[in-house]
Chain A
């Protein structure tokens, strides 16, 4: 099954995406992640002002079937959360690359951290390899 990809984001092995806009990191979960989860029914978001390190579990997404952590793909401070997802978590299924979870003002290590994430082609391969 071919999942949708966004060419302008970097991907983590734990299926989060991060998009840089005006030096702010916007984070969500990939199309493959939402599909594997199935119908999303609940989202728990971090607190604004929370300091996070890349790899930390900072949010939770729960579907009909399971609860999964959403990790911060980069380090920094949470400056905004998408409260719309608390009332309408199904947006994560409908539009995974539009439904961001939180925004991070990144630390000085952002360049290195982004470098360790995957581009769309590499991520597509990663998903394919891990599907079986």
Chain B
């Protein structure tokens, strides 16, 4: 089990430490998941997400290689652009979901903690014949997220660089609290906000400076539980839940990331077929009609027959409703369709509703 540099800081704050993807991280602080969730929707929240992995990609063939190993057309990205994408297997299923940053001197690829070793090995396996240098820079790079409508104002207090002009899904290098770092106007909460990449040795000092700078705007440190409920309301997939090696991007409603028109890339022919397939399972949102909480792995049934399963479910703190995401076959995908969720052996009624549950509010 690995610990981030902020482990002691979390414990001092009363963080409840749990195992997640090989790391010990706070699932919540004494404020509790609901207040942490609400802080991000109404003010701002600070997340230690150093468990996430980062790779640096350079070399004369870096662009060519990247076009080949992931689904988005990076030819559309200007320097300082950031974009969500997927690594897909040849059969079109998903290795991982990633974030790409086009920096002046290199590419940065941000990957899920639990997939870091797998992704690196997988990328290296396809690097033959490309002149590239692919390096895991996760250990020296510390990743934090500041999310919520007050995020910009809080970070602005720590820097002379103007953040107001920064568009969503762009990056910038700046000094914050005297520490030079990369900022991305990105996140995993459905709110405006930033993800910060700073030198690992500055993490503890910077974390405390940032909490102090955010105090008057009610910046709260937030744990994994709030991170999950926030991304869930915005219907952002979580690897191992909505997406995995059994699911393709169209089934998971992530087809928008796939640039089928770009030259040959891994999984392209399978994805071309998958896009045209209309007899496929689909990730749908549902709302409980009966009183019950749908949870991950619960079965979805229609007329007593199991037809699918729940990938994530909970009481949405923002909507104050019991909702979930799950896979169902074609006959049960239309908005308004009634389905049953099997809760501890009992069928509880639900209906398919529009996603996302919470419409993201990003900076234009």
Where the two chains meet, the residues of A that have a C-beta atom closer than 8 Å to any C-beta of B are 38-39, 41-42, 44, 60, 62, 64-65, 67, 86, 93
B33 contacts the other chain (Cβ, under 8 Å)?
Answer: yes
Beta-carbon contact of A41 and B32 below 8 Å: no
Residue of A with least CB distance to B288: A42
7 A-B pairs, CB-CB below 8 angstroms? A41-B314, A42-B293, A62-B293, A64-B225, A64-B317, A67-B295, A93-B32
Per-residue 0/1 for B281-292: is the Cβ within 8 Å of any A Cβ (1 yes, 0 no)? 000000000011
Give the CA-CA distance A44 to B295 in the complex, in Å: 15
Q: Which residues of A contact B229 (CB under 8 A)?
A: 64
B290 to chain A, nearest CB (A): 11
Query: Is the CB–CB distance between A39 and B27 below 8 Å?
Result: no
The reply on B93 being an interface residue by CB < 8 A is no
Contact A64 B344 (CB under 8 A): no
Chain B residues lying within 8 Å of A38, measured Cβ to Cβ, are: 28, 32-33, 225
The smallest C-beta distance from A65 to any residue of chain B, in angstroms, reads: 6
Q: Give bound CA distance, A93 to B292, whole Å.
A: 19
Query: Which residues of chain A come closer than 8 Å to B27, judged between CB atoms?
Result: 65
Expressed in whole angstroms, the minimum distance between the Cβ of A123 and any Cβ of chain B is 21
How long is the Cα–Cα vector from A99 to B293 in the complex, in angstroms?
20
Which residues on A sit within 8 Å (CB–CB) of B291?
42, 44, 86
With known contacts A38-B28, A42-B293, A86-B291, A65–B315 Cβ distance under 8 A: no
Q: Which residues of A contact B28 (CB under 8 A)?
A: 38
Interface size on B, residues (CB 8 A): 16
Contact A39:B34 (CB < 8 A) given known A64-B225, A64-B315, A67-B295: yes
Give every chain A residue within 8 A of B317 (Cβ-Cβ).
64
Instruction: Please tell me which one of the listed residues B34, B293, B322 contacts residue A67 in the complex, with CB atoms under 8 A apart.
Output: B293
- Option from A44, A60, A65 in Cβ contact (under 8 Å) with B33: A65
Please determine whether B295 and A64 come into contact, CB atoms closer than 8 angstroms: no
Q: Are A64 and B34 in contact (CB under 8 A)?
A: yes
| Most B-side CB within 10 Å, residue of A38, A41, A64 | A64
Residue of A nearest to B34 (CB): A39
Cβ contact within 8 Å between B322 and A64 = no
A40–chain B nearest beta-carbon distance, Å: 10
Q: Complex formed: what's the CA distance from A65 to B32 in Å?
A: 11
Q: Residue on B with the closest CB to A39? A: B34
Note all chain B residues with C-beta closer than 8 A to A64. 33-34, 225, 229, 314-315, 317
Smallest CB separation, B292 vs chain A (Å) = 8
A65–B293 Cα gap in the complex (Å)? Answer: 11
Contact of B225 among A42, A65, A86 (CB under 8 A): A65
- Give the complex CA separation of A26 and B322 in angstroms: 29
- Point out the residue from B34, B315, B344 that lies within 8 Å of A42, measured CB to CB: B315
**Which of B225, B292, B295, B315 has the largest count of A CB atoms less than 10 A from its CB?**
B315
Given contacts A38-B33, A39-B33, contact A60 B344 (CB under 8 A): yes
- Given the known inter-chain contacts A62-B293, A65-B225, please indicate yes or no for A39 contacting B32, CB distance below 8 A: yes
A38 to chain B minimum Cβ distance, whole angstroms, is 6
Contacts of B314 in A (CB 8 A): 41, 64
Residues of A within 8 A of B292 (CB): 42, 44
Q: Please tell me if the beta carbons of A41 and B315 are within 8 angstroms of each other in the complex.
A: yes
* Nearest 8 A/B pairs, CB to CB: A41-B315, A64-B33, A39-B34, A62-B293, A42-B293, A39-B32, A64-B225, A39-B33
Residues in A neighbouring B315, C-beta threshold 8 A: 41-42, 64
> With A and B bound together, what is the CA distance between A67 and B315 in angstroms?
12
In angstroms, how far is the closest chain B Cβ from the Cβ of A118?
24
Nearest B residue (CB) for A42: B293
CB proximity of B233 to chain A, nearest CB, Å? 13
Query: Which residues of chain A are near B344, meaning CB under 8 Å?
Result: 60, 67
Contact A42 B33 (CB under 8 A): no
